[in-house]
Structure 1
Amino acid sequence: MITTSIVTKIIFLCGAGFLAAFVDSIAGGGGLISLPAFLAAGVSPHLALGTNKFCSSSGSFTSALKFVKSKKTNSDLLKYLVPFTLIGAAVGVNTVLKVNESFLYSIVLILILFVGIYTVFSKSIGAENNFKGLTKLNLTLGILLAFSLGFYDGFFGPGTGSFLIFGLIKIFGFDFVQAAGNGKILNFASNIASLVLFAIHGQIDYMIGFPVAIAMILGARLGTTLAITKGSKLIKPIFVTMSLAVAGKLIIQNFL
């Protein structure tokens, strides 16, 4: 029986999910909104992680598909990077318990602060698409980026979307739109490994998950449309905001 409290919880989570997917489709970092919302609604931690992954994967798939249809992705590049992202995510999920998280938090905090601050002061970063084609060097660096961030997303996750966008801009010379499009596909690929494991272990609440997933699909569609039409002028400030928000979350969670 569906009670009034459950309906209220689902409405709250749908609103948070819509906003999270909207932001995530533009610059990453949507998990900063959606995961705390699940926990605030009283969902247990493991179910919150699994259900959030189920919902966010729906949104990221929608966003990735729209970027592909708008020709803001590079299939020649992605055919090399996606397999390494999947492998990295699978390895990450299976080694999560072997890593000292406190050490990892410090490393991630420093890196995400660097990404945010560097982007604030670099007026040219991501403003124009300066991609000149694939070379052995940039493809090798891209594969390392894909594997590393797939691994990272598999067992930890905060800031993955931001790191992907920044890395793709610096390695391949993409503008923010192209970087967001290619990054969203890689991010979706890394989500799949985690999602499958959560599903296998029964850590997804589908009664909550399905309506929130629909809300995230709608948020992702709107966010991706704005990202494609408004370009770097929209993505850069949101990208910086979400990068610094991830850093703030890590500081509060681990040092205060």
Structure 2
Amino acid sequence: MSDPRIAIVASTSEAAQRTAEVLRRCHGDVPATEADVIIALGGDGLMLRTLHRYMNLGKPVFGMNCGSVGFLMNSARDNGLLERLDRAEPVTIKPLHMQARTASGSLREARAINEVSLLRETRQTAKIRISVDGVVRLGELTADGVLVSTPAGSTSYNLSADGPILPLRAAIMALTPIAAFRPRRWRGAVLHNSAHVEFEILQATKRPVSAVADFTEVRDVRYVSVREDNAHALTLLFDPEHNLEERIVKEQFEP
């Protein structure tokens, strides 16, 4: 990437702002719409917000960890940026597309890079019917909720809910219950990324459920549809030594 035009996005942390100041002096800072590459300075939360904000631009994003969690970020250095960009290895990920119909009948749409989660809103467990590609696979799940995760998000909430870690290049997604009560032994499913997953909320008035796609929450849903969004492909850039796929494999062997 010869003399790229750079857009800098930084969190409010002192470390991120300090690094941004140095990078702007050395390389400038153009609007994201004019940039060849976006530099994201912060933690994984900042990376997710950056990917969502600029999803329609199709620009590669190189993250530096200036936050508390940096699974999707490279190490933070304020020198050698152009050399790092020249050596960077691209990873392409696709988000999930969520459609949620509410109790009022309105239809809400959102995209998720990590996961779409259905969560109980009250003290009572949720009751949810799950269909995959038009076939009812679970007539009634009684649980705190359920989620669909991308490979990129499989080490996040999905892993905390005892879901499987997914290889980044695998064309699959995880369907994982959250604190399931019935059926007790159901631990979820691994689905092809072409699968269309549908959730119907049972006893919705008594047991209200919200749907969350990364940062977007929709309350009092009655029906939720989730599938991979083939219209958007997001490119993350990583230092060769940071290899995201290797980090995901290593996560499976951590004590």
* Shorter-chain TM-score range: under 0.3
Larger radius of gyration: 2
Q: Which has the higher contact order (CA 8 A, sep 6+)?
A: 1
What TM-score, normalized to structure 2? 0.28
Query: Greater helix share, 1 or 2?
Result: 1
Query: Greater strand share, 1 or 2?
Result: 2
What TM-score, normalized to structure 1? 0.28
